[in-house]
Amino acid sequence: MKSLCLLLLLSSLSFVAAQEEAPARVEVKGAAGREDGAPARRVVGRAEIAAYGDGNLADVLRRQGGVSVVGSEVRMRGLGSGYTQILVDGELVPQGFMIDAISPELVERIEIARSPTADRSAQAVAGSINIVLRKRGGTRREDKVSNGFQRGEWSPSVSAQAGGKRGDLSWTMGTTFDRSVRIDGIRTDETVEGAAGMQAARRFTEAGRARSNRFNLAPRLNWAFDNGDTLGWNLLAGLMRARGATGEREETLLGEATAYPASFATVAQRGTTLRSDLAWAHRFAGAGKITVKAVADGSRQRNAYLFLGTAADGAPGLARVVASGAQERTASLNGKYLAPFGAAHSLGLGWDASRTTRAEQRNQTDSFAGAAGSVRLQDYTARVERLALFAQDEWTISDAFEGYAGLRWEGLRTGTDGADLARVASTSSVASPVLQLLWKLPAKQQLRLALARTYKAPLTRNLVPRRYTINNNNGPANPDVEGNPALRPELSWGIDLAWERPLGQAGSASLSAYARRIDAVTTLQLYRDGASWVQRPVNNGEAEAAGIELDLKSPLSVGPLAFALRLNAARNWSRVRSVPGPDNTLAEQVPFTLNAGIDYRAGMWDAGANLNVRGGAASRSMDGAAIYYRGRVALLDLYWTRKLDAGWRMRIGVANALGRGQRSGTAWRDSGGNAVTRMLDWEGMASIRVGIERAL
């Protein structure tokens, strides 16, 4: 609290000191949408978000250069969960946030930044992605109805956007509803070896189907007062209901079958999310502007799970009933003061304080052959408190140089306790200097250099030591999973270098490279707890990461036909020093990504295609005995739109047009010659979505 009061006092003093009136800094974009200021970001606009008619943001993001999506994780530089910072309207999202929780119809633009700035959280080792929600006022209205089709199942969605203005008040309202069906087909091949040779070989075939309903509501109110003050209130609410069922059968090729070679499982989920913020901005008469924002964020999820395992002789086996839930609440208050200082500088001071509480409950009852069995009750609460102070300066050094310097201090305090866990707490802090330089060269070329210290806070869910147990066939390649309340933040020093130049009036080319050194890196520990194998995250020494990226955008004319071409290719490397190689990489880092796209526009219609390739990845556990593998993925997406008249448009999109599947797996081997390998092949399925849109 003393630090916060001191910062507010310094903000007032800096305003008094800014005697020379100067215009506010204006961002100027160069050719092909480049930003001429030292801090740079790439912006994905509304037209690009809507082009393929995607039903979720993950599909939009995986087509962006340098970005990969693995499961529900969005990754930059190929690095896994927590290394990429996700923001909504410039504010950190809760750590339990799922990227699919926001419909693409509610998003105005997406900002991708590879280097941090001091006015935003330093939890951006790989970079940050800011999702900016739609807030455009006026009387414009947009409506959209679409329906997706996959394997005989329909997935309809509807959305509406409206806005208006009355006096000093402007408002917008966005709402979406979608019903989706997910079909999974998974084949798992497992082999077990001993010192004397092969002991068992099994094949598991799983078929699953899940249906989910999602509803989003996003109202916004903005007031503009006569004295120049503005007040904005935003709300994002979401409801989710889902049900699913899976059946699995085992084919024993060699050796003995598992305990339950046939099984059936059902799951029912209910989730709610609510995010609200209130922002006030005041512009002083002489110079400067102050903004204060309060944010409240909450989510709740309830799950009901049933597993029925059948023994090899057909008799009833394990009946497992699990009732679980999680609640996460975050409250934050932040402020920023910006003021010009002379003709060349734009100074900023600010603070950011937040508190997150995550409670998890998991009640599990196991019955065997119809007889009463064991009961496992788990109840944990994790708390994360954060306070950050920052100062920054953007200045024009000369006609050829732009500069940015910032310093951010963040303090972090975590604590975890539960019914069977004594409180485990930790306190840490990090000072994050940031320096960015822009050098303007002849022929409109640019060089960028960025130096920064960043960190990765432990994911709140990884601080909770609840254990998720495997229903059948627990082993080193199929372990139980639990969190670790003793996890500490990872600290990183990084450097980024980029060369940029325009290609004609609408094209651009860039070549960039980065390097990171990470301390207290998180790796996976695999150990035995009695008869069960368990996997958990632990801090484990130092690591290095590096990579290069090429990005090209260029128009192409073939006779009367005009095309727009896009190509992005990235190569990433990493090494964890304390893990024996090979494959001692960071968190299954994606080694390379490729995005190649083409767009064609001709009057009343346009079309395009995008090929996304993600390289196969492998990483080892803490002792090097287990290797976690994800195979190469290649996805081809297509779209076609047709303007029906001035206000109506039809859109068709095809996702994964080639129907390519995915592969993942785990291999474990010890020094005694024992080995277990499990490889999972996920069936690929193409899907098509057809929509009608109206804009008035």
* Residue 521 pLDDT > 50: yes
List Cβ neighbours of 503 (8 Å cut-off, separation of 6 or more).
Answer: 32, 509, 552, 553, 554
Residue 540 phi/psi, 5° resolution?
A: -150, 65
Residues 4-60 have pLDDT tens digits of 333 333 333 333 333 333 333 333 344 334 455 677 788 999 888 988 888 788 889
- Per-residue confidence (pLDDT) for residue 286, from 0 to 100: 73
- CB count within 10 Å of CB 197 equals 7
List Cβ neighbours of 327 (8 Å cut-off, separation of 6 or more).
Answer: 298, 299, 300, 301, 358, 359
Q: What is the mean pLDDT of the chain?
A: 88
* Residue 139 pLDDT > 70: no
Q: Please give the domain boundaries of the chain with CATH numbers for all domains.
A: 2-159+277-296+324-361+374-695 (2.40.170.20)
Residues 194-219 have pLDDT tens digits of 988 899 999 999 999 999 999 999 99
SS3 state at 694: strand
CA angle 273, 298, 221 (to 5 degrees): 75
If one compares 34 and 511, the residue with the highest pLDDT of the two is: 511
* Residue 72 pLDDT > 80: no
Stretch 612-628: mean pLDDT? 92
User: What burial letters (b/e) apply to 612-648, b meaning 16+ CB within 10 Å?
Assistant: bbbbebbbbbbebbbbbbbbebebbbbbbbeeeeeee
Q: Which of 47-51, 379-383, 394-398, 676-680 has the highest mean pLDDT?
A: 676-680
Handedness of CA 395, 397, 398, 402 (dihedral sign): negative
- Per-residue confidence (pLDDT) for residue 35, from 0 to 100: 56
SS3 state at 474: coil
Residues 264-322 have pLDDT tens digits of 999 999 999 999 999 999 998 778 899 999 999 999 999 999 999 999 989 999 999 99
- Per-residue confidence (pLDDT) for residue 527, from 0 to 100: 94
User: What burial letters (b/e) apply to 491-503, b meaning 16+ CB within 10 Å?
Assistant: bbebbbebebbbe
Nearest to 263 by CA among 322, 325, 301, 306: 306
Stretch 98-117: mean pLDDT? 86
506 close to 33: Cβ distance less than 8 angstroms = no
Distance CA 365, CA 44 (A): 48
Distance CA 549, CA 635 (A): 20
List Cβ neighbours of 13 (8 Å cut-off, separation of 6 or more).
Answer: none
Distances (CA, A) of 652 to 105, 175, 498, 649, 673: 16, 21, 37, 10, 54
The helix (H) or strand (E) run that includes residue 519 is: strand 507-519
* Residue 257 pLDDT > 50: yes
How much of the chain, in percent, has pLDDT values that exceed 90? 60
